[in-house]
Amino acid sequence: MVATAGVIAPFLLGWGILILWGASQVEAIFIGATMVATSVGITAQVLASRGLLGERSSKVILAAAVIDDVQGLLVLAVVSSLARGKFNIADILLTATLAIGFTVVLTIWGGKAMGKVIFRAQGNMHLAEAEFAISLVLLFALSLLAMIAFGGYSMP
């Protein structure tokens, strides 16, 4: 996967600032890696508030933001692997495969499934913000699924 300017520039700037402040190389690299993360949610909210979410250009912007987030996840995986003192290419490839697979599956089936769920829930729920409530439940469920998939949580 080719790194984009949206990944390289924040990484180098975060790393450079910490180096100038006298931080250790590991701390600077870790902060550089954390600076790579973007906020797809904020981007989507801005586009939605302007009524542009359905536009083709908005979809391209959001797709690029998701790709940057996946690349950021991979950068963080590499940095955390290096911080532990060993670079395990199998773990990095597994992380990449899971992240890309998770994103592709949600992209293909997520929109269709949510359209059906929201349509049914709006008729059954007595909430003014049924879409918001369903989105929150989905957000937490997907967060839990991602944590399980990436080994950050184990079911009791």
pLDDT, one tens digit per residue, over 20-77 is: 999 888 888 888 888 877 667 778 778 888 888 778 888 888 888 877 777 777 787 7
C-beta separation of 146 from 102 below 8 A: yes
pLDDT, tens digit, 9 for 90 and up, residues 86-98:
777 887 788 778 8
Entry pTM: 0.60
Q: What is the pLDDT of residue 21?
A: 93
| Per-residue model confidence (pLDDT) at position 145 | 80
CB atoms near residue 104 (< 10 Å): 10
Question: What is the average pLDDT value for the chain, to the nearest integer?
Answer: 78
What was the pLDDT predicted at 125?
Answer: 67
Share of the chain above pLDDT 70, in %: 83
- Element at 27 (helix H, strand E): helix 25-34
